Each structure stands twice: as structure tokens, then as C-alpha cells.
Structure 1
Amino acid sequence: MSTENNPRLSKTLGALLGVHAGDSLGATLEFMSYAKIKSKYPTGLREIIGGGMFNWTAGHATDDTDLTRAVLLAYRDRSASSSASFDLATSAAEWSLKWLNGDWPGRKKGIGPVDIGGATRTGLMQFEKSRNARKCGAGQGSAGNGSLMRCIPTALFTRSKEERIKESMEISAFTHNDARCTVACAVYNEIVAALVEGKAPGEAIEVGLGVAGGLDCPAVEDCIKRGKGWSISKFATNGPGGELPEWSSGYVLQSFSIAIAALLDNRSFEDVLVDVIRLGGDTDTNGAIAGGLLGARDGIEAIPERWLRVLQFRDEFEELARGLLHAQAVSA
């Protein structure tokens, strides 16, 4: 199945590998300040080179891509299952627990991840005890971006809006069950689904705003509206300043606002993503979340080939995506 004359496939691959590319590009600069990045890379980092705080191999997945893979594998397993009672959230949680416990490719068996957010660890440890994906999570008040970074497979491989919203929220909730996180995931995925269906960025964002309103989450609505007024190029050139308070945090709605601003920036995939990462702080996760939207907007052809060829899970993600789309077409 070629991407030529197949925009759905192109955008699906672009979304998945956009997450991976943003994650791997941003991993080098994670936890660095805007000022330090500007001093070292005055026009931004344009190559996936690895290194960073955790001394990554170039193109290696951090927790962002690894946990996206966990969700993607749950969708693969559902597609292959003949059981009408297959529990997608539990499957995603089980794969995420394998990642936590060191049963993961690219890592020595039994060795856990070097990078993991607090809410993710809390939720998965609770899940390990209960094996109930609906009775774990870090609780209200814990609103990090650790579920938003992994949620995109739902947008790509669930056709019904109602099912997408349900699955998005349930997959978020086994680690991040604060409403800001669960609703952000549902809204993000409706934006991605709209982009894959061919809607323009502005139209897709209006779809997302409608979902946020329907789920009665003003905080998510406000974060989208805030992102619509931001300029990524301005922030990258002049610094985040007062318009982007606490810009270095991993707060889910900050990351989402940045991604919305990125989506509305009509420059190339590369130029926008480089500037997102120039902002500093949680660079890998901001890159992953924005990269997913940009990839769904522009398709895989827009991601530089020199980036694609070093990504750890490129081949696997492409194979899984093609297989899932083929299964959907057959069953339609």
C-alpha cells in the first residue's frame, strides 16, 4: 500500500512518525533552558543526534514514543482478536507495564526505563497490583502531559467519534485520570482525526473545541484558544517570555497550547518542529505532541528523510499502521 494517492495512509504514517521524530529530536535538549539552547544552537537543532541528559542513541525512543508504541500494540492486538469483549485500555496498560518492567525492545531484559513521569509510574504500579485499568491513575490534581504524548493511535485506528472519545479517555486514565488530561487526549485525537480526514487546521481545531465544550472542560477550551493566539516563531526568536508562563514544565495544557500554535503555523514540518523544541524545557514531549499534529496535517512526505531513517521504530510503526488500515478496509 503506497502513500501515493493515498492521503489517509500518508497522514496516518505522518502522525505516528511525527510523534517519534519530535520525541527523538527533542531528546537531545530535554530540560535545557531556552537561553542555553539559543546559546548552543542559535537557529535551533536541526539534526537528530541523540545525547542529552540520558545519553540517547540518535533516533532512540524516549518514554513518549515507547508508550505510543504500547498503545499502538494494543490496537494491533484488538484487530487480531476474535473476542467481542477485548479490553483496549487494559491491553494498553499491560503493554505499558511491560515497558516499565523491562520487557521491551532496545533495552536489556529486566532493566526499566531511565525516563518516566511520576504520574505514569504511579498509575502503572497501581495497575500492576489491581490489574484494573479503571481503578488506577495518579488522581485529580496530577495533570502532566504523559498521556497526551501517547494517545495518537486512537485517532488513527478508531473510526467512530464516540468510540474515539471513550477510548482516548480510558487510555489516558490508567495513569492520568485528571479531567484536564483525559479530555485533552479526547480533544487532541478528534483534531488528529479531522486532519486525517482532510480538514484544514483551523477547521480541525474547531472540531476539537466542540468536543471540549461537549465534555464540559473549560480548562481545555481555554488552552486551545490560548494556543490559537501564540506564535511559535516569535517565541523561538525572542523567548517565551510572559506569554508562556512556566514554559519549562510538563503541564498537559501548556504542551497542548504549544501544539495548537504549531499546527496553525503554516511553515514546513521541519521549521515548526525545530522552533517548538527551541523553547526548551520538556522538549521531547512538546516535540512529540506537536509532531503528531504536524504529521497528520502534512503527511509522512513532509518529515525529512534524514530524520525518518534514524528512528528506532520507523519500520515497525509503518508495518503496524499499514496492517491496521488494511484490516479496517477489509472489515468496512
Structure 2
Amino acid sequence: MNGTLTIEERFTGCLLGGAVGDALGAPVEFLSRRQILDRFGAKGISEYAPSYGGLGWITDDTQMTLFTAEGLLRSWVRSTIRGITHYPSIICHAYMRWLLTQGEKPAPEMRQLMADSIEQSSGWLFQQRALHDRRAPGNTCLSALRSVKGLGDIAKNDSKGCGGVMRVAPIGLFGHRAGHHQEVFELGCDAAAITHGHPTGQLPAGVLALMINLMAAGQTIRQALEVAKECLEARDDRDDTHRAIELAEKLAATDTPHHAAIAQLGQGWVAEEALAISIYCALVAKDFRHGVMLAVNHDGDSDSTGAITGNLLGVLHGAKAIPDEWLEPLELREVITELAKDLASFQRWDIGEYGGTDNDRVWEKYPGY
């Protein structure tokens, strides 16, 4: 069945799946597993509970994922119409727009640039008012972006928090036709490096981006993981990430109870743990619902592990695998779907340096800066 999925079905499944996992995990992000079971029963949380004032409302994880997708598309538009681009810089610019949606001010060196770019053309995503709401944004992401003095700067911190890996699934989707595994891996790392300076805050993002890339092309989770591990092997600073992935694979092959296996992998607050928990949940999942429920009902960063697991299972099974009762109330569902469709179709846009029928329309939606 999975082999018959269209690219659009996989892409919408990936982004909607991540948002669903994020929204399901949001109400229990700061609860222990025991507290979750006490509140929601023996199976844990299995349907949306109130969070941030609504049901099915997303967090900063999905917000930043959407701005990653937008940054990629705007960089493509710039490259195609202007003839030059630098993906990490344009992605960084997208994250700076997200920073503005959080009511934060950029560094003095960036304020005029941001004000001018918003006044000239903010783009379609920034105009979605529902994104202009704080949903427990990570301190590392906020502080790193407030400190940016030039687009594409690498974060000057030693953080390996999960805020880098949680947002990079669109990089895998964007590069699904590229065929250059190392380039997808490196761009995932580069995007995470904008806010997370520790290598282990970056490498899991490269692994996830490449896994999504390969699974969008029809590979299984295990096949995609093997290729991603080959790219990881080339890095001298791979040990933390490699050990976490190896443990996830080992536990998935045993009959260890799921809650105990996830506890061995950690709580997901740091990048390698969030990736390992998500890989484990995706490997042992009976279906989308089962995998995402495993990913959110544990001690730790439930919305981030829910989001990453949702990305993996969504690209594997497509949007139709997502339960209707999770999908229909999802905040910004239409916006997420539209972004996914644009990621699936952007190479067919009629735009170019010397004119194209779609130049004005596309530039207005995704200005090339």
C-alpha cells in the first residue's frame, strides 16, 4: 500500500502528522508518565486535551517547522528568479520572522533589515495571525535568534537541546528529488546550527532530514536509517548521536515493554534522545495512532517526540493514516496542507530569471529573501 502513495500524500502526511503529534503531546509536555496515566487513564492521553486555550493547538515545534518550510521555498524562489541564494541564510531569515511572531526583538544589527523586509513584503506565512502566539518557545531558540547579527550565523552556544531537530522535516521533503544524500544531511545540520551550537544539537537534525528524504522516495524506516547512519559515520563528533540511535534499534528488536524502553532512551529534552525515542516509536508502531501515542505518553518532551514520530510515520503512511478525530480539529490544518502541497509542487512553478508566468504570484507568496 505504501508504495502506491503519491508524493503529495507523503508530504501532507509528514507535516500534518508532525503537527498532530505536537498537538497531542502539548498538554502533557511537562507531566511525568505517572501523572499522565493518573489524569488520562491506563492508556495515557489518546485524544486532544485543552492546551494553550484550545483543542488540537500546535506549539512552537510546528510553528518553527512551518517557517523552515517557508525558508526553503523562499530560497528556491530567490535562486530561480535572482540566480543566487544561500539556504542557511534564508532559513535563518525565516526563523527571524518567527522570532517576531513571538513578540521578541532581534539584535540591533538586524532590526532595520527585519523591519524593511516585513514592510516590503512579509510573505504569506507571516500573515497567518494564528502563528503570532507564544506556545512555550524554547529558551535556546529565542536567545540564539535574539543574538543573530548576520543571516546564517552559527549559534554561539553549547546547546544540544531538541529545538534543532524538531523542525527540520521539511528539509527532507524539499530535497526529495535531489539524490545527494550528504547535501540533505548537511542542510539539516546547518539549519539546526542556527540556534544550537553543540554538534549533538545538529547531527540528529541531519539524520532526521535525510530519513524523511529517503522515506518520501518510498524507503522503509530501517532502509532510510541505514543510509543516514552512513552519513553520520563520516563525522568525528558522531558518538552521542550514534549511540542513541543504536540503542533505539536494539530496544526495538527486543520484547522490552515500550514504556521501559523509552525510559532507557531518555526524556527527549536533548536532540539525540528526542531522535532516538522517535525512531524507536516509529520502528515498533503498529500504525500511526499507536506510534504517536507511544511517543507522547512518557516522562519528558512529549510534544517534540510526538512531532518527530508523527513526521516519520506520516511520510511513511500518508495523511490518510492519521485518525480523523486528530486531524479535523488540528489548528492551522489548511495552512499546513498548503505548505506541504507547495513543497511537493514547487519545481513545477513557471518562474525564472528571465520571466515566467508565475513570477509575480510566487514572489508575493514566498519573497526571495
TM superposition score normalised by structure 2: 0.79
Match of 1:8 in 2: 7
> Aligned-pair distance for 1:209?
1.0
Hey, what does 1:143 align to over in structure 2? 160
1:318 aligns with 2:348: no
Percent of pairs identical after alignment?
23
Conserved? CA contact 2:268–2:277, under 8 Å: no
C-alpha distance in 2, partners of 1:283/1:18?
A: 14
Q: Would the aligned equivalents of 2:278 and 2:305 in 1 still touch at CA under 8 Å? A: yes
2:359 alignment partner in structure 1:
none
2:321 to 281, 298, 302: 302
How many residue pairs match? The answer is: 317
Segment drifting more, 151-160 vs 82-91:
82-91
| In structure 2, C-alpha distance between the alignment counterparts of 1:30 and 1:107, rounded to whole Å | 21
Cα distance, 1:68 vs structure 2: 0.3
Whether the aligned pair in 1 keeps the contact of 2:160 and 2:271 (CA below 8 Å) is: yes
- Alignment partner of 1:263 is 2:282: yes
1:64–1:114: structure 2 CA closer, same or farther, 3 Å change rule?
Answer: closer
Match of 1:228 among 234, 249, 255: 249
Corresponding position of 1:121: 142
Alignment partner of 2:292 out of 263, 266, 273: 273
2: CA distance, partners of 1:31 / 1:229: 28
1:156 to 173, 180, 188: 173
Aligned to 1:188: 208
Structure 1 segments (4+ residues) deviating >6 Å: none
Q: Which residue of 2 aligns with 1:215?
A: 235
- Asked if residue 102 in structure 1 is aligned to residue 101 in structure 2, the reply is yes
| Deviation, structure 1 residue 192 | 1.2
Does structure 1 conserve the Cα–Cα contact (< 8 Å) formed by 2:3 and 2:218? Answer: no
1:155–1:164 CA contact under 8 A, matched in 2: yes
Q: Tell me, in whole angstroms, the C-alpha distance in 2 between the residues paired with 1:164 and 1:324.
A: 15
Shift of 1:161: 2.4
**Using the alignment, how far apart are the partners of 2:262 and 2:183 within structure 1?**
37
| One-letter code aligned to 2:208 | Y
Q: Read off the aligned partner of 2:233 and give its amino acid letter.
A: G
1:138-179, CA deviations, whole angstroms, 9 ceiling, x for partnerless residues? 423x11000100001110012232431232122111101211
**Cα distance in 1 between the residues matched to 2:4 and 2:273:** 36
- Alignment partner, residue 43 of structure 1: 43
Q: Secondary structure of the residue that 1:230 maps to in structure 2?
A: helix
Gap runs ≥5 in structure 1 = none
Aligned to 2:19: 20
What amino acid is the match of 1:25?
A: L
Deviations 1:171-191 (A, max 9, x none): 111101211122111111111
Q: Closer, same or farther in 2 for the Cα pair 1:48/1:106, shift >3 Å? A: farther
**Per-residue deviation, residues 265-300 of structure 1 (Å, max 9, x unmatched):** 140110111121111321111111111111122111
Cα deviation, residue 102, structure 1:
2.5
Measured after TM superposition, the shift of residue 208 of structure 1 is 1.4
Q: Over the residues paired in the alignment, what is the CA RMSD in angstroms?
A: 2.5
Query: C-alpha distance in 1, partners of 2:257/2:340?
Result: 34
Q: CA deviation at 1:238?
A: 5.4
The residue type equivalent to 2:301 in the other structure is D
For residues 302 and 87 of structure 1, do their structure 2 counterparts lie closer, same or farther at Cα, with a shift above 3 Å needed? same
- The AA in structure 1 aligned to 2:295 is V
Specify whether residues 249 and 4 from structure 1 end up closer, same or farther in structure 2 by C-alpha distance, changes over 3 A only. Answer: closer
CA distance in 2, matches of 1:35, 1:199: 36
Give the Cα–Cα distance (whole angstroms) in 2 for the partners of residues 108 and 299 of structure 1.
25
Does residue 1:93 correspond to 2:110, yes or no?
Answer: no
- Does the Cα contact within 8 Å between 1:29 and 1:280 map onto a contact in 2? no
Helix, strand or coil for the counterpart of 1:93?
helix
- The equivalent of 2:218 in structure 1 is 198
Structure 1 residues 146 and 233: CA distance shift in structure 2, 3 A: farther
CA contact (8 A) 2:182 2:231 kept: no
TM-score computed with the length of structure 1 as normaliser: 0.87
